Amino acid sequence: MPTPDHDDQRDDRFEAYLRQFRPLAGEPFPMEKPKGATRLRPVFVACAAAVILCIAVALGFHDRDGGTQSTQAVDVAVRREQMVNTEPMTIRSANALLATAPSFEAAIDEIASTPQATPLPKDKHSALDMLSKEETKL
Amino acid sequence: MQPNSSATEIESLYCRYGPALLLFAAAITGERGHAQDAVQQVFLKLIEDGNLRQAADKKAYLFACVRNAVLNEIKVQQRNTALDPESAWFSPPDRDYAAELNLRRALCTLPDDQRQVLVLHVWGELTFSQVADLLDISSNTAASRYRYALNNLRESMCAKEDSGANSRS
């Protein structure tokens, strides 16, 4: 009667012998994935939609900025026309122009290019004249 | 378009475990044609459904899927499966094709439950615990069936070798 240890060794040897037989591989795996491709399609559609949305949003912001700038430019032009047509440049009107101008430089440019259509009354002084007469201390 | 990572992983698993899965399927069906179909069905379904990521033990999960696919296909035709003499199941050591045929015939004489446990443990390299989970039996039962399978296989192979030697002499 063989001992259990002897049986175990015999089983191990037989198992090792069996493992020398390698299972044969089957046919190559068919990598056709028609449904996989279909599943990817919604992803691409979603990406395309996201890109289009981003572009639309960006364009919207751009137009909004441009619209604001153009509105400001129109305001300045109207203000300048009013100044030209109604009253000469004063510190008050210059301040108003500064408040409505898109930038300080733009306001200065507007002030500088504003023609003096009407002569100033004697009791009023031109802001530009006053500024130009001021001695600049460096 | 590159295959997605899931498909690549499944293809890699097919290369790695495909032969053992095919052998396991053939051990149930008795021939490789249906076994091949079942294994490929399983992998194609995995690509379609992407269920493999949910499996904690992918190897055991694959063997379970193949077993279910084969059993679904052949239903009752589990016992006394006919041996397919045309196609080999193994690549034998030293190109000993007589030994391969001997092993294949001996495997087919085993009861189905013993053959499955033997194939899963030896060539599928599953532990008895994994085999037990897969076949819905206890680990002790799996180990016991394996021991019986080894003994029966050894006796069957020796008997055939002896009869072959006697017929040659």
**Token pair listed for B125:** 């390299």
Q: Which domain holds residue B136?
A: 92-169
Cβ-based contacts of B11 with chain A (< 8 Å): 29, 31
For the CA atoms of B6, B8, B9, B12, the dihedral, rounded to the nearest 10 degrees, stands at 160
Residue B98 and residue B40 in one domain:
no
* Partner-chain residue, chosen from B43, B90, B150, that has the shortest CB–CB distance to A14: B150
**Token pair listed for A48:** 């395309």
Residue B10 and residue B70 in one domain:
yes
Residue B76 and residue B96 in one domain:
no
Contact A30 B44 (CB under 8 A): yes
Residue B55 and residue B5 in one domain:
yes
B66 compared with A83, residue with greater pLDDT? B66
Please, how many CA atoms are within 13 Å of residue B62, restricted to the half-sphere of its CB?
Answer: 28
Residue B115: CB atoms within 10 Å: 23
Confidence (pLDDT) at A38: 47
pTM for the whole structure: 0.56
The answer as to whether B85 is a domain residue is no
B155 compared with A61, residue with greater pLDDT? B155
Residue B66 and residue B2 in one domain:
yes
Cβ-based contacts of A20 with chain B (< 8 Å): 92-93
Number of folded domains in chain B? 2
Distances (CA, A) of B133 to A99, A105, B61, B120, B146: 81, 82, 10, 12, 15
**Whole-number average pLDDT of chain B:** 85
CATH number of residue B111's parent domain: 1.10.10.10
Boundaries of every domain in chain A: 52-116
Residue B69 and residue B132 in one domain:
no
Give me the total of CB pairs closer than 8 Å, taking one residue from chain A and one from chain B: 79
Domain boundary among B48, B80, B112: B80
Contact A15 B90 (CB under 8 A): no
Residue B96's Cβ-count burial label (10 Å; 0-12, 13-18, 19+) is middle
Residue B69 and residue B123 in one domain:
no
Domain boundary among B26, B47, B80: B80
Cβ-based contacts of A35 with chain B (< 8 Å): 47-48
Residue B11 and residue B36 in one domain:
yes
The answer as to whether B124 is a domain residue is yes
The answer as to whether B40 is a domain residue is yes
Domain boundary among B27, B54, B80: B80
Cβ-based contacts of B38 with chain A (< 8 Å): none
The alpha carbon of residue B86 is apart from the nearest alpha carbon of chain A, in Å, by 14
Residue B115 and residue B163 in one domain:
yes
Residue B96 and residue B168 in one domain:
yes
**Token pair listed for B128:** 């008895």
- Please give the residue of chain A at the shortest CA–CA distance from B35: A26
Residues of B with CB under 8 A from a CB of A: 1, 3-4, 7, 11, 14-15, 18-20, 22-23, 32, 35-36, 39-40, 43-44, 47-48, 88-93, 99-100, 103, 122-123, 147, 150, 153-154
pLDDT in tens, B32-43: 888 888 898 899
Residue B76 and residue B107 in one domain:
no
CATH number of residue B53's parent domain: 1.10.1740
ipTM above 0.85, yes or no: no
pLDDT in tens, A87-114: 566 777 777 777 777 777 777 777 666 6
Mutate: best of B23, B32, B42, B147, partner A, most A CBs <10 A: B23
Q: How far apart are CA B14 and CA B35, in angstroms?
A: 14
Cβ-based contacts of A19 with chain B (< 8 Å): 122-123
pLDDT in tens, A5-48: 567 788 899 999 999 999 998 888 776 544 444 445 555 566 67
Q: How far apart are CA B123 and CA B30, in angstroms?
A: 16
